Amino acid sequence: MAIKKLLFASLLICSMIQSSHGATKERLFTDLEKGSLEITATPSRTGEGVVLAAGIDKLSITWKVSSTATKEPEFKTIKVKLCYAPVSQVDRPWRKTHNELFKDKSCPHKISSFSYDPTVKTAQSFDYTLERDIPTGTYYVRAYAVDAIDHEVAFGQSTNEAKTTNLFSVQAISGRHKSLDIASVCFSVFSVVALVVFFVNEKRKAKIEQSK
């Protein structure tokens, strides 16, 4: 009897976990309230043909809740992310946009996350230095409003719906650190020495075998 109860409880827990995962997987980007957050991202360097440097240049990000937002009472956290523009998603399935949020790979870079304070009605700003590991590409910024159970309920972005305006380009860090070069040289020297020692030992063994 105890075994039956244990099996029943296990099945019930598994069912609840699957239901929870299923609900998460069914969440769609198109179900989110669009434009609830007004957000702008101004690069530290602007102008035609300007390419920002990862690890050096900054974005000045300003956001506020739109007066048309109807889901504001559900907002608990604001998550700001760096997203790939369509031009930087071509032939790159690992950056692909999916309507199902758990599959979406278009906004993998976290910028910031903070609790939402409904008493603050004015626009809020902060600076963000582009991370050193940001890949070369064209980007925009998107902010998600998240509820108490960590589900996205609304969003806003610094570009238009087609993702063709207010974009900025970033150049990844291509140089190597001196420490990496030194480590590479040391490893190469060690490999050569180890190879020479190996061959010397093999020849010595061969001579010993021949002399027996």
**What is each CA distance from 83 to 95, 97, 134, 182, in whole angstroms?**
9, 10, 11, 35
Average of per-residue pLDDT across 123-141: 97
Range from 2-16, 91-105, 145-159, 175-189 carrying the lowest mean pLDDT: 2-16
Structural domains in the chain, sorted by start? 29-171 (2.60.40.1930)
Q: How many residues does the chain have?
A: 212
**What is each CA distance from 89 to 92, 94, 103, 136, 177, in whole angstroms?**
5, 8, 15, 12, 29
pLDDT in tens, 152-171: 999 999 999 999 999 999 99
Cα–Cα–Cα angle for 157, 132, 143, rounded to 5 degrees: 15
Residue with more model confidence, 20 or 119: 119
Give the pLDDT of residue 56: 96
pLDDT in tens, 57-103: 999 999 999 999 999 999 999 999 999 999 999 999 999 999 999 99
d(C-alpha 27, C-alpha 144), whole Å:
14
Average of per-residue pLDDT across 12-29: 54
Q: Across-strand partners of 62?
A: 40, 125
Residue with more model confidence, 23 or 101: 101
**Taking 80 as the threshold, does the pLDDT of residue 198 lie above it?**
no
Average of per-residue pLDDT across 142-152: 97
Give the pLDDT of residue 7: 41
Question: Over the chain, what is the mean pLDDT?
Answer: 83
Determine contact, residues 33/70, Cβ cutoff 8 Å.
yes
Average of per-residue pLDDT across 180-191: 54
Exposed (0-12), middle (13-18) or buried (19+): which is 201, by Cβ within 10 Å?
Answer: exposed
